[in-house]
Amino acid sequence: MAPNGCGERGRMAADDNGLRRSVGRTIAFMRLAAIELRRIAERDPDLAGELRRIADQLDADADDLERTARPGGP
């Protein structure tokens, strides 16, 4: 056991917390990117359809990541 009492469990918990933070940041980034793509789509009708499709896919991927990242899994 480590001198501070953390041991393997402490390291695993720290790794898990770091992973959860990373996943949370990734989800937030995906959602913000989707919002920005939709804003750009409003200004550029030629690209609007494709940008909205990409934004919808980002939201769907963020939803999937959120579901699978919950404690206990999907």
pLDDT of amino acid 1 = 45
pLDDT of residue 64: 96
Q: Provide the residue-wise pLDDT of the chain in tens; the chain has 74 residues.
A: 445 555 776 666 667 888 889 999 999 999 999 999 999 999 999 999 999 999 999 999 999 999 998 876 55
pLDDT at 69: 87
Sign of the dihedral through C-alpha 65, 67, 71, 73: negative
**Residue 2: which residues within 8 A CB-CB, separation 6 or more?**
10
What pLDDT, on the 0 to 100 scale, is given for residue 14? 66
CA 58 → CA 15, 23, 30, 50, distances in Å? 26, 14, 6, 12
